[in-house]
Amino acid sequence: MSFETIYIDIRDHCAYITLSKPDRLNAFDMKLGEELSEVLTSISHDDNIKVVVIKGLGKGFCGGGDVKEMHLAEDKPKFLLELTRVICRCVSIIRGMEKPVIAAVNGAAFGAGFSLALACDIIVAVREVRFSSAFIGIGLAPGCGTKLLTQIVSYQRACEYILTSKVLTAEDGFKLGFVNKIVDSDRLDEEVEFFVDKFRKSPSIAVGKAKMLINKSYENDMLDHFKLENETASYTAGTKDFSEGVKAFVEKRKPIFKGE
């Protein structure tokens, strides 16, 4: 696959997606949103891919929506409706795909870029990274991300961070719970690969179903969720990986999972 605003590299069961608009801090415009949505959809249906990494080229991860493009739009309400829809589609696909998605955050993650990072299942960030909802700073109500952030922090904290466009450090993100690991910039790729390698060797069907259950837990009541957990455990008990897992446990050796 070849794209104008992103670069995709698939190797050893991992899809590495690089946002490639470094002169604009990899900001979301319609082209980037549509291309990212397309590649994420393709990856979500590819059983050969066990894990996904999203990173940014240059100094930023993703600076949010492309403000220059917003400024030039003749019909700004229509343009923002279309842009936020495609951004939310990307977030929805990331959360919906039954594969772990890792954000390798190398620089600023503002606005839609903050939402994109929060949509991922694991966030590894360099020490210098800054996060911010940022929408209010340009007079715009958030087009995405309010649900994601409010699920992580309290209502009052979400109001503070979103309504004031407060800038958060990587350390803030770690304390609040949405950053998994803070690293020096020269070790970002190495630390991301630590997680990638774990998922490469994992029982990918079980991992995918576990991610689904985590996401469903936000919307299900307890009894409905118990039922879904029961059914999902039963489903994965029929996989070859489960047979290998229990056999390896009994034989006191490490299992060799094949994603089957």
The per-residue pLDDT string of the chain (260 residues; one tens digit each, 9 = 90 and over) reads: 679 999 999 999 999 999 999 999 999 999 999 999 999 999 999 999 999 999 999 999 999 998 988 999 899 999 999 999 999 999 999 999 999 999 999 999 999 999 999 999 999 999 999 999 999 999 999 999 999 999 999 999 999 999 999 999 999 999 999 999 999 999 999 999 999 999 999 999 999 999 999 999 999 999 999 999 999 999 999 999 999 999 999 999 999 999 99
Half-sphere CA count of 147, side-chain side, radius 13 A? 10
Q: Do 239 and 180 share a domain, yes or no?
A: no
Indicate if 163 and 208 belong to the same structural domain: no
Residue 228 lies in a domain: yes
Residues 173 and 224 in one domain: no
Give kind and range of the element (H or E) at residue 46: none
Q: Do 154 and 231 sit in the same domain of this protein?
A: no
Contact call for residues 167 and 198 (beta carbons, < 8 A): no
What is the pTM for the complete model shown? Answer: 0.95
Distance CA 11, CA 45 (A): 16
Of 162, 177, 200, the domain-final residue: 200
Is 194 in the same domain as 209? no
The answer to the question of residue 169 being in a domain is yes
Inside any domain, residue 255 = no
**Residues 186 and 144 occupy one common structural domain:** yes
Residue 235 lies in a domain: yes
Identity (one letter) of the amino acid at 182? I
User: Do 10 and 121 fall into the same domain?
Assistant: yes
For residue 2, the model assigns a pLDDT of: 79
CATH of the domain at 160: 3.90.226.10
Other beta carbons within 10 angstroms of residue 170's beta carbon come to: 22
CA–CA separation, 21 vs 55, rounded Å?
12
CB of 60 within 8 A of CB of 128?
A: no
- Specify the pLDDT at position 158: 96
Q: Number of structural domains, the chain?
A: 2
Are residues 235 and 146 both part of a single domain?
no
What is the residue range of 217's domain?
Answer: 204-250
State the pLDDT at residue 37: 97
Asked if the structure places residue 260 within a domain, the reply is no
Same domain for 109 and 233? no
Distance CA 56, CA 27 (A): 10
Q: What single DSSP character describes residue 214?
A: H
Distance CA 209, CA 155 (A): 29
Residues 113 and 140 in one domain: yes
Shared domain check, 172 and 116 = yes
Last residue of a domain, one of 200, 217, 234: 200
Place of tokens 């996401």: 215
pLDDT of residue 97: 97
Are 126 and 230 in a shared domain? no
Decide if 58 is inside a domain: yes
Closest CA to 39 of 15, 11, 59: 15
